[in-house]
Amino acid sequence: MQNIENSYIDRAYEEYMKGSYGEAVDLFELSLNWYEDNRKGMLTTEDKYYEYSLMIAEMYFSIGNVYGDIYLDYDNKAKEKYTMPHAINWNKASFERMMKVNYAVAKTHYKRCIEVKPRRSEAYNEMGNILLKLGQYSEAEKVFLKAYYLQPQNQVICNNVASCYSYRGLYNKAVPYAEKAIELSVNDLRELEKQLKEGKEDVGSKELEGQKQALSIMNSNIAFLYLNLCDFKKAYQLYQMAIEFYSDNDNARYGITYMEENKLIPKGWVMSKIKLNNNFSLIVQIILKKIIPKQMKIRR
């Protein structure tokens, strides 16, 4: 959904992924203003109006994520508030409040998007992400499944359904969706490789590496599921595959270390121990949002 005319959004996500929260909030707000200004005068029936409305909601959601990251790991990230002049005197409760305020505004905008185009999957999918963040897993499941019903061949939606079930501990239910997400992602990777080989001008090594990184995280996701289902051989193989796609996948490295330390695999395969983070869905989505629009443009 991103528009190349908006010069702020890619930079906002880059700063967010780096942990530069003050810069990220500033850029998300500039991006929000850009979408609001450029939506003015459009008819609500226009596709562009719907797309910009989705992005307005996403900016509020993203700002909420920044505040939420600090709130959820406040003891380790309290210093981050000093990159936000407006938040220097905030305590942990202040970040929680701002997280919830921005999520609430985002939900309102997504509901409006659903009213405008109820047969489109995007707003349902994003609403599910907000509900996941708020720990409302049953409600998240409902909207994710609605998104899946509308667009079952979308790798992001499949991955999000799997992540929702994973958060709830329903690992058997999660596996089929995780497997489908990987299958779709592999197909997209092959298509990108083909386009790159053919010299398509809109596809470069950056898009290829981004797809591999997303696929790596998806393999970590399903490996985590199999680990909890006690299928240790499959879990280990998938963690290894995740590292092959993207060597800096911390979740995969920690998964292998965990299996080694608990004698679930033979000794000698130890990798550095990194803190486990089971927040697969949003990371995959951020990566793929930079790739999918280009793929769709080429396929038309």
Nearest to 286 by CA among 95, 33, 48, 58: 58
For 243-279, how does the pLDDT look when each residue is reduced to its tens digit (9 = 90+)?
999 999 999 999 999 998 888 875 544 433 333 344 4
Q: Tokens at residue 196, please?
A: 């790159």
The Cα 128–Cα 230 span in angstroms is 28
Distances (CA, A) of 142 to 125, 158, 169, 235, 262: 10, 13, 16, 28, 36
Task: Report percent pLDDT > 90 for the chain.
Answer: 63
pLDDT of residue 62: 96
Are the CB atoms for 126 and 54 separated by under 8 Å? yes
Judge whether residue 225 has pLDDT over 50: yes
Q: Give the mean pLDDT of the chain.
A: 85
Could you give all domains of the chain from N- to C-terminal order, each with its CATH number? 1-152 (1.25.40.10), 178-299 (no CATH)
pTM of the model: 0.82
